[in-house]
Amino acid sequence: MELTKNFDHKSAERKWYDHWLEKKYFSSTPDDREPYTVVMPPPNVTGILHMGHCLNNTIQDILIRRARMQGKNACWVPGTDHASIATEAKVVQMLREKGINKSALTRDEFLKYAWEWKEQYGGIILQQLRKLGCSADWDRTTFTMDAVYYNAVISVFVDLHNKGYIYRGKRMINWDVKALTALSDEEVIRKETRQKLYHLRYAVETTDDGQPTISNTSVVGRPIYSAIISLATLTTSSTFGLLK
């Protein structure tokens, strides 16, 4: 048998990983053994691996493999997140290339295109995780828009709301004027600009029940409260917040 000059890690990794999958060494079925479960933080279905994913999933893989060697019923549950804003941008771009305007579609029609795009282009990151040798139970792969997953999330939110643990309230948000949706702080591309900073002096009165309130003192003939609102228009949205 002739040996190659250099170690061909690609063929070796492919051979043994396929062997592991064929023998279902990563599969888990509930039994009498001590359970050990890790749920993979779902990466975006539109994303690709970066160093953060590599580090995070390597640590999870080490813990899962160690648990298997200890005789535990180890189960590593993989999945992907629907990445709604990023996915919507990709789908809208695809529709635009086909001459279709998103606003002309119903919600169900748009979702149909979104699912088609996901099936065609999504999930690349899961294949990359396989290339890393991650020992996840791939038969349990879940997508956050799967019916079972979606219904479970809605049920939990409704249950928490009925128990008074979460509430709907007004919050300052980052508003995407093009996609017409809210953005998290992490999704905002910040840019320094020169703007005016207003300083206002206003009186505070105490009501009969001892609660502080804004005084009716007028500014240029208008109540102080309306003057404040006119100077600084805030974009708010109804969002869920957790009670502390």
Inter-helix orientation angle 107-121/84-97, to 10°: 100
Per the structure, the count of domains in the chain is 2
Residue 214 has a pLDDT of 66
Residue 217 has a pLDDT of 53
Torsion angles phi and psi, residue 171, rounded to 5: -140, 145
Question: Are 23 and 133 found together in one domain?
Answer: yes
pLDDT band, residue 243 (cuts 50/70/90): very low
Residue 77 near residue 142, CB atoms below 8 Å = yes
Looking at residue 103, the DSSP 8-state letter turns out to be G
Question: Are 98 and 180 found together in one domain?
Answer: no
Query: Highest mean pLDDT range out of 37-51, 106-120, 146-160, 163-177?
Result: 146-160
CATH number of the domain within which 128 lies: 3.40.50.620
Question: Are 133 and 200 found together in one domain?
Answer: no
Question: Are 48 and 133 found together in one domain?
Answer: yes
Query: How far is Cα 73 from Cα 19, in angstroms, rounded to an integer?
Result: 20
Look at residue 154 and tell me if it is in a domain: no
Q: Which range of residues forms the domain containing residue 191?
A: 174-237
Residue 170 has a pLDDT of 83
Question: Are 35 and 115 found together in one domain?
Answer: yes
Mean pLDDT lowest among 13-27, 103-117, 216-230 = 216-230
Question: Are 27 and 106 found together in one domain?
Answer: yes
pTM of structure: 0.66
Q: Write the CA distances from 174 to 33, 166, 182, 229, 236, integer angstroms.
A: 48, 21, 6, 18, 9
Higher-scoring residue by pLDDT: 172, 34: 34
Look at residue 160 and tell me if it is in a domain: no
Residue 94 has a pLDDT of 87
Final residue of a structural domain among 98, 127, 143: 143
Torsion angles phi and psi, residue 131, rounded to 5: -60, -30
Residue pLDDT, tens place only, 69-127: 999 999 999 998 888 787 888 888 889 899 998 889 998 999 898 888 888 777 788 89
Question: Are 86 and 17 found together in one domain?
Answer: yes
- Mean pLDDT of the chain, nearest integer: 82
Look at residue 2 and tell me if it is in a domain: no
Query: How far is Cα 72 from Cα 36, in angstroms, rounded to an integer?
Result: 6
User: Of 84, 103, 226, 233, nearest to 144 (Cα)?
Assistant: 84
Residue 231 has a pLDDT of 41
One DSSP character per residue, 25-46 reads TT-----SSPEEEEE--PPBTT
